[in-house]
Structure 1
Amino acid sequence: MHTQPSKIDTDISRVRQCYIDGMAKFHCQLLLFSRYRHELFSALMLEHSLNFQGLVIQNTSCEGTLDKIEIPLCQELRRFDVANPSEQALARFNFFKDYISRARDLFFHKSKKVLIVTERYYYFNRRPLRGMERIVFYQLPSHPDLYCEFINMASSRIMKHLLALLLLLRFASAYLGPKMGLQNQCDDGKTNLYVDWNPTDFTTYTCMDEPYPLREDIAPFFHELKAKNASYDPKKDVVYHKCMTETIQYDESPPLRPNWARYGEYLYVPEQRWLHNLEHGSIILLYHPCVDQNELQKLRHIVTSCLYRHVITPYNKLTKDRPFALISWGAMLGMGSVEENTVVSFIKEHARVAPEDLSKDGIYDQFLIHPAAVVSDEMDNQLCPSLDY
């Protein structure tokens, strides 16, 4: 389009000099339209859009397609990381090969059937697939609706055992948005915060009674779901999120807000936020606003010396007998006074035992007083390094 023609049959005097000099490519517009967002489209614009001024790439809002899934199932996201995007193809293949090694062996001995379907083949043929028990998505489909279509083809008789596994890496955000939706449309950590609590209600973080006395005569109360159910595995719990347009009322499997709290100490943070921190293996320090401040400082020092992934907040639903509590995913320690060895033992045993062992900090930070400091490393690979009990 911008090359000089072999035969010149136009009036050169009418042609602008910049076109004759081969500069036309810098004085044009490149428009690309697509139904879906794709990382390759952005790369195409950045590489081939040479106009000297102005570059616009519309970042459309994505509501997600997960609500189109018609059957209950476990959806598992397996994330693997690579240092360079150019290494992702080989890393993905090796991860996939290792994951299905048992299925390959069963297939080789003719005791298991395996079907490999490409997105391109299914998109143009739309053949119904029956009897699926496990669906492994090698990568996110380019067409978001195909993720739900594959799952909905599963047989209803094996729904209890159906598993959809998705291989994911951090460079796949352009693919992930159309499937899962963009969290900033659902919860940006700033909007509609009154849905969870009224920020003007100072009683949530203010002592409205006489200071509570220490109860050294009351033994700590320990509750763990594993003690109730020996088969319970906190790392296999399935949780879901609710947007800020909906209220949350808790039951045995509580929903969470999509964006968790930044690690650190707060004037107050509602449970809808710190419950999501628990999902990532954090320890939550709760205390009644009327507790003894010296005892609180002792507990605060232990927690902040043990791990980076912690949240400290008042919680006025704690009892007068046990106004201190440490919470992890699936376990709780309630105390009338602080026993250092008990606290350290609880943290070492229950920190990082959760569905997702993630160190990424949250974006919710309303009334954050002191951001958390890294202790051993961001993953808290060494818990309580300066405390030996």
Structure 2
Amino acid sequence: MSADLAARVTDAVGAVTDPELRRPIGELGMVGAVEAAGDAVRVEVRLTVVGCPAADRIERDVHDAAARVAGVEAVEVVLGVMTPEERAALTERLRGGPARGIPFTSDSLTRVIAVTSGKGGVGKSTLTANLAAALAARRLKVGLVDADVHGFSIPGLLGLVDADGRTARPTRIDDLIVPPVAFGVKVVSIGMFLREGDEGAAVAWRGPMLHRTVAQFLTDVYFGDLDVLLLDMPPGTGDVALSVGQLLPHAEVLVVTTPQAAAADVAVRSGLVARQTGQRVVGVVENMAPMALPDGTVLDLFGSGGGAAVARALSTVDQPVPVLATVPLSPALRTAGDEGAPVVVAAPADAAAVAITELAASLVASGRSLAGRRLGIQPT
């Protein structure tokens, strides 16, 4: 009877999900010995690292899972830590093998979308953060890389910076980096790796360091199985844009501009550079578009037509580029960003939130081209 009870408890606690890795702890090798004596059980759990931030939740979930098993009246959960050998086996299992490389290849099931702009100040990062949250709200598994190393702002926009200015830290399992999650989005940013107290410091790096950082984000960060990976690109056509083009030549590109002609002219260049590296421009987003005021008038602070101009300039006979969204000026969008809550979540009825939600739906509906992609099937 004790052996049967221990086996049933092992199955129950093995199904508990690790809140960071999003996988059952039994599958991750985190369940140790399970002993039963009468109606009392003792469960050993091996955490991935010392000081695991999810320890309390895992302990609580394991306790509750064991307590729900018929015949169990008392539960003791004992927390331990994996050995170096067990951690090495875990990281190899998560990577799918011993080799380290970028998992988001052209044969990956993950759709990679780089969000670019020609110049700063067009709201690209705010748009990217909200688009990620809107996609996650549609039950997609979403990752977000803040590739704007010099001007990183994604952690703040997604509420990963506390009131004292401290940025959420990823969890390290040996050389594997587990990113924090906000609004259902797995997020990594250089701001998460600065020393505590240096969060406001400038990152003054040149090309080689920028390339290594982007490559490490794509290689060492464990995102798990993603439907969509978004990259918040720095403005312009500099080192990071070229690195991403080299590392992810199959990525799709979403170009953000404002209606202003000066912004639109520069935005075209970012799309052209992306196309030169083999990436496909899937559409244009016109941000800060005219806003309808309560009295019925329209405030066109930055003019109009910039998005359509960029789309025309980037379109070819074989590859038309549409305007996928027109996002109006919105005080709610700005306020929500300052408060670390995407407007698509905080005020979904706002005009800007509606436009971004429709953009997410449009991207999901358009899907990803299968041209040139191996599907892993063999003819019989």
In which range does the TM-score fall when normalised by the shorter chain? under 0.3
Give the TM-score taking structure 1 as reference length: 0.25
Bigger radius of gyration among the two = 1
Give the TM-score taking structure 2 as reference length: 0.25
The answer to which structure has the higher strand fraction is: 2
